[in-house]
Structure 1
Amino acid sequence: MELLNYNAPGLLFPAISLLMLAYTNRFLGLTSASRGLVLQYRTKPDIRLLRQVESLRERLSLVRHTQAMGVTSLLFCTTCLFALFLDSQLTARFAFAGALLFMMASLVVSLREIYLSVRAINIEFDSLLRDAQADDHR
C-alpha cells in the first residue's frame, strides 16, 4: 500500500474552498430572495408567495447542511495534514477518507438543493402562465 503524502490532501484544499465559496454565494442569494418574498407578502399576501417561502426555507436548510459538511471536510483535511506532519499514516488515511466522504455528502445535498431550486422556479412559471391565461380569457 502506497504511503499518503501531502499532495493528496493538499489538492482538496482549493476544491473545498471553491465549494464553500459557491455554497456561501448560494446562501446569500437565498437570504436575499427570502427577504424580498417576505416584504412582497407583507405588502400583498398571496398563497403562491407562501409556497415560495416554504421552498426557500427548505433550501436554506440544505445549504446550511452543505456548508457544515464542507467545513467538516476541511477540518478532516487539515487533520490529515497534521497527522502526516506527525508521521501517523493510519490517522492521516482515516482523516483523508473522512474529508472525501464529507465532501461527497455536501455535493449530494447540494444536488438536492439544485433540484428544489428548479421546482421553486417552476412555481413562478406556473403562476405566470396562470396569470397570462386569465388575462387571455378577459
Structure 2
Amino acid sequence: MNIDITTPAILFPTISLLLLAYTNRFVALASIIRNLHASHQSKPDPMLRQEIASLRYRIKLIRNMQAWGAASLLFSVICILLLFLGFETAGRWMFAVSLVMMLISLALSLREIQLSVVALDLHLRDVEQERERGRSPDYF
C-alpha cells in the first residue's frame, strides 16, 4: 500500500468533528450533574446518588473518548511528519496506531451512548409509572 502525506490528513476533519461532539456531550453531562447536585443539596434523594454514580462513569468515558481521539490526531500529525522526512515505514506504523486509537475512541463512544439510552429509558419508565398512578397528565 502506498501512503503519502495526504493519507493521514483525511483523519483531521473526522477527529475534529468527533472531539467537538465529545465536548458537547461533556458539557451537557456537566450541566445535568450541576442540576442534580443542586437538587440533591436542597432535597436529598437516594435515587439521585445512583444517577450521579452513573453520570460520573459516563463523564470518565467521555474523558477517555477525548483522550484517545486527541492521541489519534497527535499520531496522525507525527505520521505526516515522518512521511515528510522520508520515513515511510515509521509513518505507516504511526498511521496504523492512530487508526487503532480512533477505533478505541469510537468504541468508548458507543459504550457511552448505550449508557445514555439506559438512563433515558429509566426516566421514561418513571414518567410512565407516574402516569399510571394518575399523578401526572397524560401526554401520550
TM-score range normalised by the length of the shorter chain: over 0.9
User: Could you give the per-residue CA deviations for residues 69-94 of structure 1, whole angstroms, max 9, x where no partner exists?
Assistant: 00110111011000011100011001
Q: Percent identity?
A: 41
Q: Does 1:49 align with 2:15?
A: no
* Contact residue 37 and residue 49 of structure 1 kept, 8 A: yes
> Alpha-carbon deviation of 1:102?
0.4
Distance in 2 of aligned mates of 1:126 and 1:61: 26
Q: Which 10-residue stretch deviates more, 117-126 or 61-70?
A: 117-126
Partner AA of 2:96 in structure 1: A
Please tell me whether residue 32 in structure 1 is matched to residue 31 in structure 2. yes
Question: Quick check: 102-111 or 44-53, which moved more?
Answer: 44-53
CA contact (8 A) 1:3 1:89 kept: no
1:93 to 2:86 alignment: no
Distance 2:47 2:24 in 1: 25
2:9 corresponding residue in structure 1: 10
Q: Which residue identity does 1:103 align to in structure 2? A: M
SS in structure 1 at match of 2:133 = helix
More helix by share: 1
Write out aligned runs for 1:110-125 (5 A). 110-125=109-124
Aligned twin of 1:79:
78
Q: Are 1:84 and 1:92, in contact at CA under 8 Å, matched by a contact in 2?
A: yes
Point out where structure 2 has 5 or more consecutive residues left out of the alignment. Answer: 136-140
RMSD: 1.2
Task: Give aligned pairs, total.
Answer: 135
TM-score using structure 2 length: 0.91
Deviation at 1:130, TM superposition (A): 2.6
